[in-house]
């Protein structure tokens, strides 16, 4: 089997090379993302391996099908970037890594909260320059604050357990209640009530047609004044221009995002010497109460090990005609 790996960074290749010897496959690593223009690189391959910002739309899939691709192996959990109907029509299977390290993402959400709240990023820079003033560094106790969790699957559940340890009250919304969390004292309620009651809202649901722009002008207006919003899930859960408006009128007190609606043109790349044309990210970066990380919540050694192993196991199961337990339909 020949596998074309798209959006490859040096660390992706490093992890594949750590494990690939026991699998009898040939890899072609491409730095470029998969999209209709680059899909031709899959010629002579059987499988394409893709990540969060590859554009696996109808047109891409048509070209993959012509090239004889039979499997799209996502090395991530979310699959919102793949046109599943188009893949099914072309008889191309899609597999993903449904769970690799919910702790990695949940811990990063907590890191965003603590950094935004206690301003350790600002303190670090100040002290290094000999500025030992505490002016404007005041935070708030997390103890007794209400945290609203949207989506209480693997990552949301882990996040609830972490914030429970900080003595927070937890309210949650999900289309399915998680019994383990009810036992932990998490109170499920309507989405509207979660937005109204939370001091901090943390998003952990997938991006789909029901959740797109779940944080918008109307939902922001219903939140507490000075609310903190955390998004480690998918960028388009938040309508970016509405969050900018919420920050400008001070309704949003803090915004921590690891994902961004238009991230595919920015994230994972060093653009420090390039003129960035995305005015919305530049406006977001101008706020002192906004913290942005570049889709790194998943990025721990443990998660990279698990992502690589599961991806190779998914490909092997396909190669051997076995049941695809991680298939997305
Ligand atoms: P999961 O499938 O275990 O949990 C998702 C939860 O969302 C489920 O409980 C589901 O019922 C719920 N849900 C579905 N539709 C909903 C809706 N309309 N409203 C509210 N809740 C809804 O997934 P997970 O492993 O916990 O991952 C959650 C998301 O995190 C993924 O979809 C992915 O987008 C994102 N993610 C981000 C990173 C990162 O590095 N930033 C890494 C991994 C995953």
Question: Rounded to the nearest 5 degrees, what angle is found at the Cα of 238, between the Cα atoms of 232 and 244?
Answer: 110
Answer whether 303 contacts ligand 1 (Cβ < 6 A).
no
How sure is the predictor about 20, in pLDDT bands with cuts at 50, 70 and 90?
A: confident
| Region 128-155 average pLDDT | 98
How many angstroms separate the CA atoms of 277 and 247, rounded?
21
Which of 161, 174, 303 to mutate for ligand 1's pocket (most ligand atoms within 8 Å of CB)?
174
Residue with tokens 């899609």: 94
Residue 22 has pLDDT above 90, yes or no: no
Does the beta carbon of 318 lie inside 6 Å of ligand 1?
no
10 Å CB burial of residue 68 (0-12, 13-18, 19+) is exposed
pLDDT of residue 54: 96
CA-wise closest residue to 87 among 66, 112, 115, 56:
56
Gap from CA of 162 to ligand 1 centroid (Å): 17
**CA 107 to centroid of ligand 1, rounded, Å:** 15
Residues with a known catalytic role: 234, 263, 295
What is the 232 CA–ligand 1 centroid distance (Å)?
A: 10
Give the pLDDT band (50/70/90) at residue 24: confident
Look at residue 72 and tell me whether its pLDDT is greater than 90: yes
- Given a cut of 90, whether residue 23 has pLDDT beyond it is no
pLDDT tens digits, one per residue of 171-212: 999 999 999 999 999 999 999 999 999 999 999 999 999 999
Average pLDDT in the chain:
97
Question: What stretch of H or E contains 228?
Answer: strand 227-231
Q: Are 56 and 79 in contact (CB under 8 A)?
A: no
Nearest CA to 90 out of 109, 122, 67, 116 is that of 67
Closest by CA position to 106, among listed 176, 8, 181: 181
Burial of 300 (0-12, 13-18, 19+ CB in 10 A): middle
pLDDT over 90 (residue 233): yes
pLDDT per residue as tens digits for the range 281-329:
999 999 999 999 999 999 999 999 999 999 999 999 999 999 999 999 9
């Amino acid at each position: 089997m020949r596998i074309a790996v798209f959006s490859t960074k040096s660390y992706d290749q490093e992890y594949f090379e750590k494990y690939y010897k026991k699998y009898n496959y040939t890899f072609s690593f491409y730095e470029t993302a998969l999209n209709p223009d680059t899909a031709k690189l899959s010629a002579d391959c059987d499988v394409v391996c893709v990540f969060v910002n590859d554009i696996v739309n109808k047109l891409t899939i048509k070209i993959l099908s012509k090239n004889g691709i039979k499997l799209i192996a996502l090395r991530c959990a979310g699959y919102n970037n793949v046109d599943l109907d188009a893949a099914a029509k072309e008889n191309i299977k899609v597999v993903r890594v449904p769970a690799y390290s919910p702790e990695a993402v949940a811990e990063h959400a907590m890191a965003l909260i603590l950094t935004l709240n206690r301003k350790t990023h600002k303190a670090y820079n100040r002290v290094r320059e000999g500025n030992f003033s505490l002016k404007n560094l005041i935070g708030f106790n997390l103890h007794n604050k209400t945290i609203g969790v949207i989506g209480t699957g693997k990552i949301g559940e882990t996040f609830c357990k972490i914030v429970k340890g900080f003595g927070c009250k937890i309210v949650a919304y999900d289309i399915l209640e998680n019994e383990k969390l009810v036992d932990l004292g998490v109170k499920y309620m309507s989405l509207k009530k979660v937005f109204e009651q939370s001091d901090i809202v943390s998003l952990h649901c997938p991006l789909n047609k029901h959740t797109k722009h779940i944080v918008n002008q109307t939902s922001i207006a219903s939140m507490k004044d000075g609310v903190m919003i955390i998004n480690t899930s998918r960028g388009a859960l938040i309508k970016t221009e509405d969050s900018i408006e919420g920050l400008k009128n001070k309704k949003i007190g803090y915004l921590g995002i690891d994902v961004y609606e238009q991230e595919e043109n920015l994230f994972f790349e060093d653009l420090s010497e390039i003129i960035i044309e995305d005015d919305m990210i530049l406006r977001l970066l101008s706020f002192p109460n906004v913290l942005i990380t570049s889709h790194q919540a998943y990025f721990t050694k443990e998660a990279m090990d698990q992502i690589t192993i599961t991806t190779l196991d998914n490909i092997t199961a396909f190669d051997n005609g076995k049941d695809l337990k991680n298939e997305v339909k």
